[in-house]
Structure 1
Amino acid sequence: MKNLLDNLYRNQSIIFKFFLLALSVFLIVYFFPTGGQFKYEIVKGKPWQYENLYAPFDFAVLKSDEEVSAEKSKIKKTHIPYFEFDVATAKKVKNTWKDKLELSQDSLLQNNPQVSDFISETIDEVYQNGIRIQDDGENNYSIVFLIKDKQVEEVPYEDLLTQEDLKPFLISEIEESNLTEYRNSLLEIFFDVLEVNVKYDEELNQKQIKSKFDQISYTRGRVTKGSKIIAKGEIIEGEKLRMLKSLKHEYESQSLESSAYVIVITGYTCLVGLSLLMLLLFIRQYRPDIFDNNNKITFIFFNILFLVFLTLLVLSLDNDYIYVVPLCILPLTLKAFFDARLGLFTHMITVLILGLVVPDSYEYMFLQIIAGIVTILTVSELYKRANLFISVVQITLVYIFAYFAFNMIKEGSIADINYNNFIYFLLSGLGLLFVQPLIYAYEKIFGLISDLSLLELSDTNSKLLKELANIAPGTFHHSLNVANLAEAAANEIGANSLLIRVGALYHDIGKMKNPIYFTENQSTSVSPHDELSPKESAEIIINHRLEGIEIAKRRNLPDRIIDFIRTHHGTTTVYYFYAKQKEEEDLEVNEKDFRYPGPIPFSKETAILMMCDAVEAASKSLKEPNTKLIDDFVEKIINKQIQEDQFINANITFKEIQSIKKILKSKLNNIYHLRIEYPD
């Protein structure tokens, strides 16, 4: 039992990875749609490449989208609209029109009873069908349904007077009644008392149209079991294409039997598990530092699950919106935290997984892989907002261009391309702009660091660097010089220059605890080491590394920056005090007391910092430097580090080390170049 527990403890990292793999596979497969799958690829306008296909069962042939749209359009055109007649308004006008008259108008009626009767009869005639609001002129109804007191009447549409029709109608009535001499007064009375009382019943009309839409048959004709659908070599078009799409729809809409369901789930599990296993093996082979960090592996798998679930959610709502999902946010995010190669590989694995369930899987996978490649190639220096906007525009244009070209082949006509997808690509591009707040959230949740955070940390006005400048000004100046040298060296060999600059700025913060014990901070020739033994002095010097780690953790510096503090001296010795101790003692000196505990650098960036730190610090001891002296000096320091095996764990080559030497020599020659003597 004890041995079992010991083995579990020793292999807990591998066990966690397999658990994460199994959990991810389970969650993805659990949410996969589990309808039947059509095993043939349908490409319009291309020959049928498989054997003769016969109907495996009876199924209905679906109407095309154009046919369904035409039927809906016909329903809308032939629909007789419903208008609501407000009886209360009509009665109110009839009963109260005399109360609204002015004094002069009332006098007209009293002196002319014929006029009063005419007005009353005309109002009755107007409200026989009522007055409606003027429409937009696009309606060409011949008849309409008029709803009065819950009774429906069929009336000619032109009999519903509009406000615009009212004046000609009233003038005609006035002239027929031989009351032309009172025309202006009568028109004024009518316009004062008449009110609109008929309106289009939007809710009822929509219900009626929807009811008719629901009665539409989406199929036309049936294919009986055993009938030949298409022969090998036939072109997929017209009725053949419609039958194939109908058969595919029938397969996908069928619910599987329990035995078939288990088989389908098993197949999905194998394929998804194999895909994610390939990702793990890739990381183990080419990114062992990431593979050994369970937090980073969890972060990668979380991103895959997030985008798979988001795509499946959109897929469950409507297949048409599949391109709205900003899938390229995955390589963008992983490139920001790790590197482009891992970002692209992870993106391709995710696309392969989604290709199992999305419609038109080849088209989808083609577009997403092309977009992912463009994302990796175009997005650089994500912390610059302009770069992100430019890259998003490029990615969106590539989506549109590739989709357009792909569908020209597929449809054989520009007119048949679904241009709505262009809008979805634009929305997907807008979604990519949320990568910056997403990266910030990931940094807080997973404790990772991106270029955005590195840029903030590189600000020399930050609180910690200001403290370093005040407490240990010599160390701060040394750190700035090392940062400049290291950044130039990193650019020369293609390392992460921003990361190494930040690491260089903070690598010596441990010297803030005892700044006076370090020569760059001593303003006089008197050294506090004169009062200490070489062993005690070496202990203070060596401890600045541990004290720097403690300060960095208290100030919440990222682990990748702490790595520079931890490794910038590797396992080298404090040679000055070691030699001094050997001079004072006749017995053999314990070298461990004068050696840094390590670890040695494990990346290009940490290795570069070690070289630059040692060269910059030792260069202060050069007297009357010249080009040959500087070249020999750089060669001597870095070769000594190589001999002491300080770079064996770092993925840095001899060629790259030679390039770094060249840069350091050039920079130091520029710093220490001879100046002309100015006259007194």
Structure 2
Amino acid sequence: MRLPESAPRIAQRRSGRSPPLQRYPCHRDPADSAADSLAPCRQPSPTAPQISQRAGVHPAPPLDHHYLDRSPKHFRDMNKLPSRQLTFRALLFVIVVSVSVYFLPRTSENHYVFEEGRPWSYALLTAPFDIPIHLDSLSAARIRDSLQTHFEPVFTRDITAEKTIVSDYTTRLNSTTGLDITPSQRNQIIREIRNIYENGIVDRDTYSKIASGRLPSVRFIHDNVAISMPTSAYLSAFRAYEHLDSIFRDKGMHQALSATHLSEILQPNILIDTVTTRRLLEEALQKAMAPVGIIQQGERIIDKGDIVTTRLATVLKTYEEIADERGKGTISQHYYPLAGQILYMVILFGALYGYLCIFRRDYFDDDRTVLFIMTIMGLFTLFAFAMQAAFRTGLYITPFTIVPILILVFLDSRTAYFCHLIQVLICAIITSFALEFVFIQFIAGVVAIDSLKDLSRRSQLIRTAALIFIAYAACYAAVEIMQSGSLSKTEGRIFGCFAINAILISFSYVLMFLVERVFGFTSRVTLVELSDINNPLLRELSEECPGTFNHSMAVSNLASAAAGRIGANVQLVRTGALYHDIGKIKNPAFYTENQHGVNPHDALDQIQSARIVTGHVREGLALAEKAKLPQMIRRFISEHHGAGMARYFYTTYCNAHPDENVDPAPFSYPGPNPQSKETSLLMMADAVEAASRSMPEHSPEAISALINKIIDSQIAEGLHNESPISFRDVSTIKEVFAQRLRTMYHSRISYPELKKASSAEADNKKL
């Protein structure tokens, strides 16, 4: 059978021109990579009864709700979004913009982003007012440390406490009985205590500084005159007691010191004057930190291209502080910069929404995809802001290329490019060298996307990380050579930041796993893992249904060969084909490929047999649900027969009941019809491979006739009406199927038997 053709198509065929590619509302550009088809095309999704009516049959009995809604929710009219979805997108947009602006570093009209040792990237800046020139932070810190180290604190002598302590101890010593000391010894003890207090007793902390040499002298203020005194004679209360105990050799005097608890009575009489010390230290610091010069109003501060030295950096910071102080309370100081930041974010995220709405409308119509893109970009924006706030080179450490890698794996390369550009432009606002930053990050993103077209192994991420490091290093070196003329001023730690960045990129493999679990996406890596025949479900299929397993393997090879030719996702087709018939595990003997001489259908009527055969779709979905197979794999199970019929049992029943108006519903599969190129391709490969096994001969003509008959009949029944497959794709599929089947069923030469030599020849040979 030939495909029905319209007059324009016949004219094109006769003129020798290839027919134009059939366009659908969500058709993708063939230039996109095969990985782009991981996200299925969003088409209006008719229900199974509607598809059956289009095919000329009545609706099939509905499945349970648990298995009925298997078509993706994004197959809908893309010309109009429900108000709920529009509200969700608007709310998501507002949240991401608000959070990004909230955590964005605040700047005013008089604030500049610059780095010491780098060129000034703004226009000429002149002083609008007098600007004092202060010491730079390093010099100021050095002077401050020196002052605090050598500053003499102010102390006072507490004469009242000294007299009180000596008087109280004298009373205690005289009133204590049982002491074996003479009156002269009593006087000697009191005299030594007075001498110690005249020298001075300080607290423990002060004495530790004196003992370590950090406090060689202190000051006393008398009549507004500061007098410096050495601290060598000062003792702590504990050391004073030890001193007294050491100078008295008489046993009775030792007993007297212990019995009168002298160690508890001794208290410091040299006390630090904290208030005066702090005041004098602040005065000394203010004097030391006084401006060393002044830039007068109208004087040039810095011009574009000038290197920001340490002195200029200090002047610029002073200028910003004075400008902020003068601008307090003005609208322009607070609200204009904020308004500019909001507008900046709205424009960039609005551009992202515009791209999705115009060029990737299927993504824009899917809540899950929009949420994924906005979430990952919002989180990485906050991460970049935090890294820049924590480290001076934080933006060089931030692995920006993880965003395009994740979007490439789960969506497509074009969207990955655009999202990466938006991400880089968002973060460029917080760096002083926006052009350099955009150049380096954009090239790194291009390298990441181009080197990771088809991610199927972990080693590919390691290779990509290494290439990204090389790209970072090369771009940074190019910028340095262009600006300074050599690499002598290049900071080595920047390359260390690039190395850390490359290491962090390797963790995107973990993020892929999280994205799959949170958003329900399926990556190529997961598809490769599922295609392993040691997977428990495939192993069970090979053991319980060896014929079905061999059929699935053959269909997988046949369909994947055609998928590469029409731009479909090869890995998705290969994996989906392996699982499309897993429902036959429940009743393997009811399918001819698993039978061994006994056909259980002989004991059943046609309706019962049809119910069992069509039920393998339901059973397959149940097994897929139990095994937690991805949604896109389940679509191959539900769509590989579409809303077609078990034609053998239907025809047999009609022939057996010629006078009955046969209802086709019991003989129909639940559907839906294929919604993507991949599932359409599987339907064709499944039917062609199964039918080819019953061919009496496998000549090239017979194979081509079989392929045309099966595929043309599917198209005539409308089974592929909901799929974005084109007539050109169908023609290519037929060609690939014919080539593969001819290879599978090629004839072999017959090997001749070795004939025995005649007796005469044998005798001659003996002679």
1:547 corresponds, among 611, 619, 628, to 619
Counterparts of 1:62 and 1:267 in 2: how far apart (Å)? 32
CA distance in 1, matches of 2:564, 2:142: 64
Cα deviation digits, residues 112-168 of structure 1 (max 9, x gap): xxxxxxxxxxxxxxxxxxxxxxxxxxxxxxxxxxx98333699xxxxxxxxxxxxxx
Deviation at 1:471, TM superposition (A): 2.0
C-alpha separation between the residues in 2 aligned to 1:215 and 1:336? 63
What is the CA distance between 1:342 and its match in structure 2?
1.9
2:229 is matched with none
Give the superposition deviation at 1:651.
3.6
Matched, 1:236 2:305: yes
**Helix, strand or coil: the match of 2:106?**
coil
Against the structure 1 CA distance between its residues 332 and 45, is the aligned structure 2 distance closer, same or farther, given a 3 Å change threshold?
closer
8 Å CA contact 1:408–1:417 kept in 2: the answer is no
Q: Quote the offset at 1:330 in angstroms.
A: 1.0
Counterpart in the other structure of 2:593: 520
> Residues of 2 paired with 1:334 and 1:215: CA distance?
59
Partner of 1:567: 639
Q: In the aligned structure 1, how far is the partner of 2:441 from the partner of 2:722? A: 37
Q: Which amino acid aligns with 1:237?
A: D
SS in structure 2 of the partner of residue 277 of structure 1: helix
Deviation at 1:331, TM superposition (A): 1.1
Partner of 2:100: 28
1:566-597 Cα offsets, whole Å, 9 max, x none, are 22122333322333333233344334443333
Report how far residue 300 of structure 1 moved.
2.1
- Counterpart in the other structure of 2:558: 485
Question: In the superposition, relative to structure 1, how do residues 336 and 578 fare at CA in structure 2: closer, same or farther (>3 Å)?
Answer: same
**CA separation in 2, counterparts of 1:505 and 1:347?**
35
* 1:339-396 residue CA offsets vs partner (Å, 9 max, x unmatched): 2222222211211211222331221122111111110001244332332222111111
Amino acid at match of 2:93: L
User: How many Å separate the matches in 1 of 2:723 and 2:318?
Assistant: 56
**Cα offset for 1:326?**
0.8
The amino acid of 1:457's aligned partner reads L
Q: Which has the larger radius of gyration?
A: 2
| Contact 1:68–1:218 (Cα < 8 Å) also in 2 | no
Alignment correspondent of 2:397: 324
Q: Which residue of 1 aligns with 2:211?
A: 149
Partner deviation per Cα, 1:606-648 (whole Å, 9 max, x = no partner): 2222221121111112111111111222222223333334344
**What is the TM-score normalised by the length of structure 1?**
0.71
Contact kept in structure 1, 2:639 and 2:672, CA below 8 Å: yes
Instruction: Return the alpha-carbon distance in structure 1 between the equivalents of residues 387 and 352 of structure 2.
Output: 25
Answer whether contact 1:569 1:600 (CA < 8 A) is retained: yes
Q: Identify the residue that residue 378 of structure 2 maps to in structure 1.
A: 305
Counterparts in 2 of 1:246 and 1:427: CA distance versus 1, 3 Å = farther
Residue 535 and residue 13 in structure 1: after superposition, are their counterparts in 2 closer, same or farther (change >3 A)?
farther
Q: Equivalent of 1:504, from 577, 589, 592?
A: 577
Q: Amino acid of the residue matched to residue 467 of structure 2? A: Q
Residue 634 of structure 1 is matched in structure 2 by: 707
More helix by share: 1
The aligned amino acid for 1:150 is S
Closer/same/farther in 2, CA of residues 74 and 366 from structure 1, 3 Å limit: farther
Q: 1:214 to 1:53 in 2, by over 3 A?
A: closer
Q: Equivalent residue of 1:392, what SS?
A: helix
Distance 1:315 1:37, change over 3 A: farther
Please name the residue that 2:652 is paired with.
Answer: 580
SS at match of 2:394: helix
Letter in 2 for 1:331: P
Number of positions where the alignment pairs a residue of Structure 1 with one of Structure 2: 543
Give, as a single letter, the amino acid of the residue that structure 1 aligns with 2:346: G
Aligned-partner Cα distance in 2 for 1:363–1:547: 58
SS in 2 for 1:589: coil
CA offset at residue 301 of structure 1?
1.9
The residue that corresponds to 2:87 in the other structure is 15
Cα distance in 2 for partners of 1:438, 1:600 equals 34
Task: Give the Cα–Cα distance (whole angstroms) in 1 for the partners of residues 360 and 643 of structure 2.
Answer: 25
Larger displacement relative to structure 2 (384-393 or 240-249): 240-249
Task: Give me the TM-score of the superposition, normalised by structure 2.
Answer: 0.63
Deviation readout 1:510-550 (Å, 9 max, x if unpaired): 112222222212222x5333344433333322222122111
Q: CA RMSD in A?
A: 3.9
Q: Show the counterpart of 1:135.
A: none
Quick one: which amino acid aligns to residue 651 of structure 2? A
Aligned partner of 2:602 among 527, 530, 536: 530
Kept in 1, the 8 Å contact 2:551–2:689? The answer is: yes
Map residues 430-449 of structure 1 onto 2, 5 A cutoff.
Answer: 430-449=503-522
Asked if the contact 2:381/2:427 (under 8 Å) is kept, the reply is yes
Q: Gaps spanning 5+ residues in structure 1: where?
A: 1-8, 82-146, 155-211
Mapping of residues 26-425 of structure 1, within 5 Å: 26-37=98-109, 54-59=126-131, 149-151=211-213, 221-228=293-300, 236-237=305-306, 247=316, 254=324, 257=329, 259-260=331-332, 261-425=334-498
Aligned to 2:629, which of 529, 549, 557?
Answer: 557
Q: Which amino acid aligns with 1:613?
A: D
Higher RCO by CA contacts (8 Å cutoff, separation 6 or greater): 2
CA displacement at 1:235 relative to structure 2: 6.3
Opposite residue 641 of structure 2, the aligned amino acid is H
Gaps of 5+ in 2: 1-80, 151-208, 217-283, 754-767
Question: What is the aligned-residue identity percentage?
Answer: 33
Larger CA deviation: 235-244 vs 486-495: 235-244
Counterpart code for 2:97: V
